[in-house]
């Protein structure tokens, strides 16, 4: 058992192979896997279905849906509409401004909400076809917004539980389309390009191959996709869902890849749901920017971050995150639950 092998080690520094950043795996402070259950417990108290803004968007002076899927009986199964309290708003082009040495621009962009019908069931409990529909919507909205003039970067993310930032309990994802590229994606783009320059290989493909070969950290694998706890996990029980085929751009996902990814995403969320007793979590898509440039060495994927730790002064000042379980142990626990 690896826990025993590492008994007299207080911690390890592990390097993120993509960005070169470091994380701390603090095995000396380690808990047993089962001790993480309830740490990030989602609050039980949920809004009543009758009062839910997302069950009845038509009642809430919500802007018109930009997308709606219906089931066989003509009922809506998924809908997408603009966020009523957006962080970014539509405008042709963002106005720039200067103040002395500083620069800024208007918060121009799109901020949409993607809602599945069931008030109670999170993605972990939906069936594979329903999760597939969510991916369909992600892709459809992405493609619609990616060529807008003011949009250079699109982030799609999902907050589950109040502790993860979900202010409305009804399961929903969000899409934000903005004029600037995020620092995290920029770091991954740079890392992937540097790695390619020195090895002629995609760093994500290299990791996929190693993970599938060793199976140490893999929790799910099918023909087109693998889910594993990353070597340099930012948080306990972090899981990445990575397509096997090298592809920088999420929006170019094929129908069969979408089936494979939805299976892996659903499986991973369900394992985390069981292992940590319905914890709060975030997941999000990391994909190449849509700014018209080529990013041939990037490799899109999904990252799932259970809220098993809080950022304190060390993390906020350094950007070095501390996780208290080895990803190998976390993966073994998720596999076996």
Measure CA 132 to chain center.
15
Position among 17, 53, 68, 125 found at the interface with a second copy (CB under 8 A): 17
| Phi/psi at 87 (5° precision) | -85, -20
Q: Which of residues 217-246 bind a second copy (CB under 8 A)?
A: 231-232
Is 135 a binder of a second copy (CB under 8 A)?
no
Strand extents, DSSP E, 133-275: 153-160, 172-178, 218-222, 225-228, 239-243
Position among 45, 48, 50, 183 found at the interface with a second copy (CB under 8 A): 183
3-state SS of 262-317 is HHHHHHHHHHHHHHCCCECEEEEEECCCCCCCCCCCCCCEEEEEECCCCCCHHHHH
Is 329 a binder of a second copy (CB under 8 A)?
no
159 or 262: CB nearest a second copy: 159
Is 106 a binder of a second copy (CB under 8 A)?
yes
Q: Which stretch binds a second copy (CB under 8 A): 60-68, 114-122, 268-276, 312-320?
A: 312-320
Smallest distance, Å, CB 141 to a second copy? 16
Smallest distance, Å, CB 128 to a second copy? 23
Smallest distance, Å, CB 94 to a second copy? 7
Q: Which of residues 193-222 bind a second copy (CB under 8 A)?
A: 203, 206-207, 210, 213-214
Q: Which of residues 26-85 bind a second copy (CB under 8 A)?
A: 26, 28-29, 85
Query: Which of left, alpha, beta for 165 (phi over 0: left; psi -120 to 50: alpha)?
Result: left
CB 88 within 8 A of CB 108: yes
Measure CA 180 to chain center.
19
14 or 259: CB nearest a second copy: 14
Query: Which string of DSSP letters, residue by residue, matches 53-79?
Result: TTT-GGGGTPPPPSEEEE-TTS-EEEE
Position among 239, 305, 330, 331 found at the interface with a second copy (CB under 8 A): 305
Position among 12, 118, 136, 144 found at the interface with a second copy (CB under 8 A): 12
Is 249 a binder of a second copy (CB under 8 A)?
no
Smallest distance, Å, CB 237 to a second copy? 14
170 or 259: CB nearest a second copy: 170
Smallest distance, Å, CB 11 to a second copy? 3
| Phi/psi at 296 (5° precision) | -65, -20
Tokens encoding 47 = 């809004």
């Amino acid at each position: 058992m690896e826990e025993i092998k590492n008994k007299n080690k207080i911690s390890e520094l592990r390097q993120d192979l993509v960005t070169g950043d470091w994380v701390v795996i603090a095995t000396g402070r380690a808990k047993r896997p089962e001790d993480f259950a309830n740490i990030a417990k989602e609050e039980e108290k949920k809004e009543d279905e009758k009062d839910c803004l997302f069950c009845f968007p038509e009642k809430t002076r919500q802007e018109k849906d930009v997308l709606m899927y219906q089931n066989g009986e003509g009922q809506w199964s998924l809908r997408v509409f603009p966020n009523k309290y957006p962080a970014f708003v539509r405008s042709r082009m963002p106005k720039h401004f200067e103040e002395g040495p500083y620069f800024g621009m208007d918060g121009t962009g799109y901020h949409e909400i993607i809602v599945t019908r069931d008030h109670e069931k999170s993605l972990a409990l939906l069936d594979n076809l329903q999760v597939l529909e969510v991916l369909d919507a992600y892709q459809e909205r992405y493609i619609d917004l990616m060529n807008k003039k003011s949009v250079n970067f699109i982030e799609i993310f999902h907050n589950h539980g109040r502790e993860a930032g979900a202010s409305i309990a009804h399961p929903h994802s969000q899409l934000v389309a903005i004029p600037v590229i995020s620092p995290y994606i920029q770091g991954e783009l740079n890392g992937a390009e540097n790695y390619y320059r020195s090895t002629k290989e995609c760093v994500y493909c290299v990791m996929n191959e190693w993970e599938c070969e060793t199976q140490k950290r893999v929790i799910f694998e099918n023909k087109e996709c693998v889910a594993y706890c990353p070597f340099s996990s930012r948080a306990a029980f972090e899981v990445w869902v990575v397509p096997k085929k090298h592809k920088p751009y999420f929006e170019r996902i094929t129908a069969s890849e979408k089936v494979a990814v939805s299976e892996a995403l659903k499986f991973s969320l369900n394992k985390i749901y069981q292992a940590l007793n319905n914890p709060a979590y975030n997941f999000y898509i990391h994909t190449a920017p849509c700014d018209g440039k080529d990013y041939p060495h990037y490799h899109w994927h999904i990252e799932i971050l259970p809220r098993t730790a809080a950022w304190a002064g060390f993390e906020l000042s350094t950007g070095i995150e501390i996780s208290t379980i080895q990803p190998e142990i976390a993966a073994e626990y998720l596999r076996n639950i």
